[in-house]
Structure 1
């Protein structure tokens, strides 16, 4: 079929493979975590006190959907929401001890899953593929419904 040579179809399939690898690793480890939850936890870990809208931008997810992800993480006591000291209307996010522990445990499994996603490629091809994926993603970022933001340098 002609779609087998189209980048959109192949990227969608690779995403399905990536999610399957992630979820398999989490299941094997006995962890309940989705790729989006993992990404949100990483953003909150790296930027403690970040607001929800900025998390959405950092992980390139629409705000409404990410809001539901944040709700689930809070319900599981993995993150804490507090009123911002600088803007009483805003809520800032931090990891709880349970969130830090889960992220630390999950990160090793996530790292171990990465080669599985590009199985069949040599190490050099995997590095080239990653470089090209980053280049294409950066070039098309503004076309996304949820463009990724780049954190400001400290």
Structure 2
């Protein structure tokens, strides 16, 4: 009787990119929340306000694509931001089903107040890397996101 070949060695959990990326995301959120704790803003809310401030009059679907969220999630976040008078929705003159978003003066004030804390959070996230490696790391992460972007919930919904 022939002995079956040994099973291949499995990687450890810490060697799996998905697990490590999920942990990195948890750390990024934790650092952001620590730096912005006095401001009552989440990373997703910041990203939405920032993107909407960069391009006035975005519709929710386009904003969802820019920040990588599905439209049902973005609707709930916009509801919260609108409830805090940080963003407002207006009906598009071209299509009554479309809501155009604009950041209110209070939203712009919050963005301006949050910017130093957000930048400090970004610095803390990359602090374990030598300064020369940080652009390389960011380029690699961006490449992974760009090459696999079709797998995000927001992209799958838009497709």
TM (norm. structure 1) is 0.90
Shift of 1:89: 2.2
Is 1:56 the counterpart of 2:43? The answer is: no
Deviations 1:15-49 (A, max 9, x none): 0110001000011xx10000000011011101111
Which protein has the larger Cα radius of gyration, Structure 1 or Structure 2?
2
Q: How many angstroms apart in 2 are the aligned matches of 1:75 and 1:144? A: 27
Cross-structure match for 1:152: none
Shift of 1:119: 2.6
Cross-structure match for 1:13: 23
Is 1:114 the counterpart of 2:117? The answer is: no
Coordinate RMSD, CA, aligned: 1.4
Cross-structure match for 1:45: 53
Q: How many angstroms apart in 1 are the aligned matches of 2:14 and 2:138? A: 20
Is 1:129 the counterpart of 2:149? The answer is: no
Q: How many angstroms apart in 1 are the aligned matches of 2:40 and 2:141? A: 28
Q: How many angstroms apart in 2 are the aligned matches of 1:80 and 1:66? A: 14
Question: Any residues of structure 2 matched to 1:1-154 within 5 Å, and which?
Answer: 2-27=12-37, 30-147=38-155
Q: Which runs of 5+ in 2 are unaligned?
A: 1-10
* Corresponding pairs, count: 146
Q: How many angstroms apart in 1 are the aligned matches of 2:67 and 2:86? A: 18
TM (norm. structure 2) is 0.88
Shift of 1:120: 1.5
List 4+ stretches of structure 1 deviating above 3 A.
none
